[in-house]
Amino acid sequence: MVRYPLAERSSIATLEDMHIRTASGQAIAISEVADIRLGLGLAKISRIERKRSVTITADADSSRVQSSSVIDDIRKNFIPQLLLDYPSVEFGVSGSSQEESELIGRLMIAGVVSLFLIYGLLAVPLRSYVQPLIIMSVIPFGLIGAILGHFFLGKTVSIISLLGFIALGGVVVNDSLIMVDFVNKKVRAGMSHAQASVEAGTERFRPIILTSLTTFFGLVPILSETSTQAQMIIPMAISLAFGILFATIITLILVPALYNIFADFMPDTHRSVDAQAQPA
């Protein structure tokens, strides 16, 4: 750093009288080549990986807009033009936005792992590779119900909601597991797949409905809570309550239909096993 002695840079008048030397060696006043204006300088210079950085923060009014929507709007409408005007500028998120992105990535991995574990736990006792898929087919519909629940109650899907989505995947399979197990028992007893599905829907209707309704109404007090402490867990309660309620309706219709569809392409293994077990 090359600069004037302290005595010659202690006032603005010194700056106005300063001369600079051009490439030809001629000394000229700085006012002839520069427009000097008074202003506020940076209180400090922050650097990330030895590069100057400027941090922009804001608090979003959650009643009017979500922070994720603001960030997406900035990424799509502002950042491309900024990088076009200033190619040397780099952009990135940090703080809570960065932590949220990293958490979503970890939750995605955890969700996939949980699906594989659920499949394995169902495949072993059922001794089938297809029936666990029939049982797990209600999981996407449970997620749809959870999203609709957020829409009806005017809530935004948050990180806590995603945690509820993962928990929901292990809960909604209970009713469909009861349905498939009941159909298997009827088929082993000699009943056709179509008739067994109808019998299962008729006899298991009340237990499935009661199980889902008791879970839903057990979560209603949390959904109706207005205290500040409860606001954090309400999104998870919405995911579970409405996901279970919606998946129950699908279970009574979709699971028997899928069971019959796959039965048309699969050998009747239950009857052959029972026939071999009978003494000659």
Contacts of 280 (CB under 8 A, 6+ apart): none
Can you tell me the distance from the alpha carbon of 132 to that of 125, in angstroms, rounded to the nearest whole number?
Answer: 10
Segments making up each domain of the chain, as ranges: 1-36, 107-269
pLDDT in the model for residue 266 = 65
pLDDT band at 274 (very low <50, low <70, confident <90, very high): very low
pLDDT band at 270 (very low <50, low <70, confident <90, very high): very low
Query: What is the average pLDDT across 191-197?
Result: 85
Is the confidence at residue 258, as pLDDT, over 60? Answer: yes
What is the percent of the chain where pLDDT is above 90?
11
DSSP state of 224: T
Q: Is the pLDDT higher at 65 or at 245?
A: 245
pLDDT band at 13 (very low <50, low <70, confident <90, very high): confident
pLDDT band at 95 (very low <50, low <70, confident <90, very high): low
pLDDT in the model for residue 242 = 93
Is the confidence at residue 159, as pLDDT, over 50? Answer: yes
What is the percent of the chain where pLDDT is above 70?
93
Q: Count of residues for the chain? A: 280
pLDDT in the model for residue 118 = 92
pLDDT band at 243 (very low <50, low <70, confident <90, very high): very high
Is the confidence at residue 269, as pLDDT, over 50? Answer: no
| Average pLDDT along the chain | 82
pLDDT band at 88 (very low <50, low <70, confident <90, very high): confident
State the angle between helix axes of 159-171 and 96-126 in degrees (0 to 180), rounded to the nearest 10: 0
- 31-40, 143-152, 260-269, range with greatest mean pLDDT: 143-152
pLDDT in the model for residue 45 = 82
Mean pLDDT lowest for which of 9-23, 124-138, 196-210?
9-23
pLDDT in the model for residue 244 = 92
Contacts of 131 (CB under 8 A, 6+ apart): 122, 123, 180, 184, 259, 262
Homologous superfamily of 107-269 in CATH? Answer: Multidrug efflux transporter AcrB transmembrane domain (1.20.1640.10)
Is the confidence at residue 267, as pLDDT, over 70? Answer: no
pLDDT in the model for residue 278 = 45
Give the amino acid at 278: Q
Query: What is the average pLDDT across 212-234?
Result: 87
Radius of gyration of the chain (CA): 33
pLDDT in the model for residue 275 = 41
Can you tell me the distance from the alpha carbon of 245 to that of 236, in angstroms, rounded to the nearest whole number?
Answer: 14
At residue 48, the 3 state secondary structure works out as strand
Contacts of 185 (CB under 8 A, 6+ apart): none
